Structure 1
């Protein structure tokens, strides 16, 4: 009786185990457009590539502009610093010459 119940249980469970062990077969691809990006994929990829190139040129242009502004600011500071130094030297010379000339 136990053997009969075991046999019945084995017969009932065998199709379920057998179905789980076989891998499912993928459906055949008849349409090659179903697995390729197609025209829309190419258009989007081309748009992104062009956008990246344009952004790179814009970035280089902005960096160049910042560098030129910094160079001009340094030149202006240097030019403004020279007359100030000359003026300070002239004031020192006048102050030093004034008392010695008066004495």
Structure 2
């Protein structure tokens, strides 16, 4: 029972505040400012992720092109035709009648 009484009595070392609660809390403008900063941060993070992903894709394509170039140069050095330069028919294009 004494615990309840001790919790209800104010601390004598802390003076009571005479400032109204409306002046202490940020209010609507504080919420709007915080929400704006949060939305800006989310948009910046999304943009950064998109740019990093784009750089990763470019690096992968660059590595693939370098590997194909090295394969082509190695095949040319051996005197053989690389498989990528061999004439092939495109399966997307239908054969035209009378072309043969």
The normalised TM-score by structure 2 is: 0.61
Residues 43-76 of structure 1 deviation map (CA, whole Å, 9 limit, x = unaligned): 0000001111111111110100000000000011
Residue 27 of structure 1 deviates from its aligned partner by: 5.6
Query: Is the radius of gyration larger for structure 1 or structure 2?
Result: 1
How many residues matched?
Answer: 69
Structure 1 unaligned segments of length 5 or more: list them.
Answer: 1-22, 92-103
Decide which structure has greater helix share: 1
- What is the root-mean-square deviation of aligned Cα atoms in Å? 2.0
| Residue in 2 that maps onto 1:51 | 40
| Residue in 2 that maps onto 1:32 | 21
Structure 2 unaligned segments of length 5 or more: list them.
Answer: 1-12, 81-100
